[in-house]
């Protein structure tokens, strides 16, 4: 049997990027031989194994044939007579379809190296269209390598466009899509992921609620960039610049969905968009079965981001309601993430990226003030149950009144 490094490890070495995980392909072997060498099978009917020591993935060279919708509709053929070239042609992009032996000899039948130099994300063969997940993968690689100047080859974009129109994207499972979305959002330029999806028509299928924001104007005084879609991309860009976690990035992407529902006669104003957007945020959350912390933060940011921006003007009672809604006493981290999302929203405006955001510290201070109320003295006074809850709230309100009074105007 011959063993080659494939995929990302080869690509990233040639790009001079750090290689994190290595994928291997094995030519000329059978499942039985792999098992005899101590490799552990990954799945029952999938010719992929884990190395007994390193835990890295070793896949038998295979060909694929599609016989139905979605990913389930694939027939794999793995046998010792499948060649390296046959295995490489089923891969998505030319830059991902190179292999390397232990002497660093490159096998590159589909000119991945040429495309690396040309900074092009190009599909290997028309079989690209057999797995719609590749549309998301290409958009993700576009986000990852945007800083190196990579773009999607026009003919690949055209294929992605056809795939998006064909209805195949709807066959993707939420789990597979979410994995790509989450990884793409964590790239340094996640806004490129959304832009590429939009350009090929996939955004309209996957997240029509986000797609609908393009072409929707906002008041120029607050939003010099005017367009709500452009604003959303900038917010995402800022979130990456500030190294925000996935929860915050997801919330940034969805925070203004309500603006897509505003009747045109009301443009550029968006009355109650925070509230109107909630059902859309919920729908997107559920469509991709986003993790609970992402879902939660997106809904809270959607509902309360304007409160965040107006923090310094809020009445103490409103401030208290905000803190209570976040359960800031038991969930301080979530409130921090809310503050971060609000700040990214404020920075994601043309020409205002550097403006300071005093609301952030003000909100933190308010949370500290409310949290500093001690429960013990109230217990000692004999408060119990509901009354205790009310008494704590009363003390927190007092603390917030004092906090607001002491804050510099």
Residue ranges that bind ligand ATP, judged by CB under 6 A: 7-8, 21, 23, 91-92, 96-97, 131, 133-134, 137
Burial class (CB in 10 A: 0-12, 13-18, 19+), 64: middle
* 338-to-43, 127, 234, 241, 404 alpha-carbon distances in Å: 40, 43, 17, 17, 20
| 6: phi then psi, degrees, rounded to nearest 5 | -135, 175
Least distance in Å: CB of 9 to ligand ATP? 7
Task: Give the residue with the Cβ less far from Mg ion, 57 or 86.
Answer: 57
Task: Return d(Cα 137, Cα 154) in angstroms, integer.
Answer: 16
Task: Give the residue with the Cβ less far from ligand ATP, 13 or 350.
Answer: 13
Task: Return d(Cα 29, Cα 33) in angstroms, integer.
Answer: 6
Question: Which of the choices ligand ATP, Mg ion, none does residue 277 contact, using the CB cut-off of 5 to 8 A by kind?
Answer: none
Task: Return d(Cα 213, Cα 236) in angstroms, integer.
Answer: 14
Q: Are 301 and 341 in contact (CB under 8 A)?
A: yes
Question: Which of the choices ligand ATP, Mg ion, none does residue 123 contact, using the CB cut-off of 5 to 8 A by kind?
Answer: none
Q: Are 195 and 213 in contact (CB under 8 A)?
A: no
Least distance in Å: CB of 98 to ligand ATP? 9
* 232-to-57, 60, 249, 315 alpha-carbon distances in Å: 37, 43, 11, 29
Task: Give the residue with the Cβ less far from ligand ATP, 133 or 297.
Answer: 133
Question: Which of the choices Mg ion, ligand ATP, none does residue 361 contact, using the CB cut-off of 5 to 8 A by kind?
Answer: none
Task: Give the residue with the Cβ less far from ligand ATP, 57 or 395.
Answer: 57
Structure tokens at 61: 């060279």
Task: Give the residue with the Cβ less far from Mg ion, 57 or 395.
Answer: 57
Least distance in Å: CB of 21 to ligand ATP? 6
Question: Which of the choices Mg ion, ligand ATP, none does residue 133 contact, using the CB cut-off of 5 to 8 A by kind?
Answer: ligand ATP
Least distance in Å: CB of 41 to ligand ATP? 18
Question: Which of the choices Mg ion, ligand ATP, none does residue 92 contact, using the CB cut-off of 5 to 8 A by kind?
Answer: ligand ATP
Task: Give the residue with the Cβ less far from ligand ATP, 23 or 195.
Answer: 23
Least distance in Å: CB of 87 to ligand ATP? 9
* 8-to-138, 254, 276 alpha-carbon distances in Å: 13, 30, 42
| Sign of CA pseudo-dihedral 150, 155, 156, 160 | positive
Structure tokens at 400: 């917030």
Question: Which of the choices Mg ion, ligand ATP, none does residue 96 contact, using the CB cut-off of 5 to 8 A by kind?
Answer: ligand ATP
Q: What residue is closest to Mg ion based on CB?
A: 8
Least distance in Å: CB of 138 to ligand ATP? 10
Least distance in Å: CB of 131 to Mg ion? 16
Q: What residue is closest to ligand ATP based on CB?
A: 8
Least distance in Å: CB of 179 to Mg ion? 13
Count of helix runs (H) and strand runs (E) in the chain: 19, 11
Question: Which of the choices ligand ATP, Mg ion, none does residue 180 contact, using the CB cut-off of 5 to 8 A by kind?
Answer: none
Least distance in Å: CB of 145 to ligand ATP? 10
Contact residues for Mg ion, defined by CB under 5 A? 8, 21, 23
Question: Which of the choices Mg ion, ligand ATP, none does residue 316 contact, using the CB cut-off of 5 to 8 A by kind?
Answer: none
User: Pairing between strand 57-60 and 23-27?
Assistant: parallel
Question: Which of the choices Mg ion, ligand ATP, none does residue 225 contact, using the CB cut-off of 5 to 8 A by kind?
Answer: none
Task: Give the residue with the Cβ less far from Mg ion, 137 or 255.
Answer: 137
Question: Which of the choices Mg ion, ligand ATP, none does residue 319 contact, using the CB cut-off of 5 to 8 A by kind?
Answer: none
Burial class (CB in 10 A: 0-12, 13-18, 19+), 261: middle
How many residues in total does the chain contain? Answer: 409
Least distance in Å: CB of 191 to ligand ATP? 19
DSSP state of 84: H
Task: Give the residue with the Cβ less far from ligand ATP, 131 or 274.
Answer: 131
Task: Give the residue with the Cβ less far from Mg ion, 97 or 367.
Answer: 97
Closest by CA position to 116, among listed 86, 149, 147: 149
Closest by CA position to 138, among listed 88, 59, 195, 58: 195
| Sign of CA pseudo-dihedral 277, 208, 145, 23 | positive
* 171-to-87, 126, 186 alpha-carbon distances in Å: 25, 19, 24
Task: Give the residue with the Cβ less far from Mg ion, 12 or 336.
Answer: 12
Task: Return d(Cα 363, Cα 264) in angstroms, integer.
Answer: 34
């Amino acid at each position: 049997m011959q063993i080659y490094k494939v995929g990302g490890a080869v690509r990233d070495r040639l790009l001079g990027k750090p290689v994190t995980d290595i994928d291997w392909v094995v030519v000329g072997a059978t499942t039985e031989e792999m098992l005899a060498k101590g490799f552990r099978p990954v799945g029952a009917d999938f010719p992929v194994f884990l190395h007994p020591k390193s835990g890295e993935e070793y896949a038998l060279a295979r060909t694929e044939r599609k016989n139905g919708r979605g990913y389930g509709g694939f027939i794999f053929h793995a046998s010792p007579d499948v060649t390296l070239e046959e295995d490489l042609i089923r891969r998505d992009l030319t830059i991902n379809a190179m292999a390397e032996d232990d002497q660093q000899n490159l096998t590159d039948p589909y000119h991945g190296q040429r495309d690396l130099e040309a900074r092009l994300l190009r599909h290997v063969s028309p079989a690209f269209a057999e797995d719609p997940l590749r549309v998301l993968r290409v958009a993700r690689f576009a986000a990852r390598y945007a800083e190196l100047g990579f773009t999607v080859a026009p003919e690949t974009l055209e294929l992605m466009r056809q795939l998006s129109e064909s209805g195949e994207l709807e066959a993707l499972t939420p789990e597979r899509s979410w994995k790509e979305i989450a990884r793409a959002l964590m790239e340094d330029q996640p806004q490129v992921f959304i832009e590429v999806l939009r350009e090929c028509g996939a955004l309209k299928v996957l997240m029509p609620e986000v797609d609908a924001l393009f072409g929707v104007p906002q008041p120029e005084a607050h939003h010099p960039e005017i367009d709500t879609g452009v604003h959303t991309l900038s917010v995402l860009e800022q979130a990456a610049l500030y190294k925000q976690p996935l929860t915050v990035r997801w919330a940034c992407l969805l925070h203004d969905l309500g603006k897509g529902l505003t009747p045109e006669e009301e443009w550029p104003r968006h009355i109650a968009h925070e509230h109107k957007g909630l059902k859309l945020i919920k729908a997107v959350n559920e469509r991709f079965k986003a993790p609970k912390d992402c879902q939660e933060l997106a809904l809270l940011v959607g509902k309360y981001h304007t409160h965040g921006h107006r923090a310094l003007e809020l009445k103490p009672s409103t401030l208290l309601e905000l803190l209570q809604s976040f359960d800031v006493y038991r969930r301080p981290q979530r409130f921090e993430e809310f503050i971060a999302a609000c700040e990214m929203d404020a920075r994601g405006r043309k020409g205002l990226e550097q403006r300071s955001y005093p609301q952030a510290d003000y909100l933190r201070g308010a949370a500290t003030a409310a949290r500093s109320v001690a429960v013990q003295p109230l217990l000692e006074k004999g408060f119990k149950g509901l009354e205790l809850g009310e008494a704590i709230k009363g003390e927190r309100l007092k603390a917030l009144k004092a906090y607001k009074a002491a804050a510099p105007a």
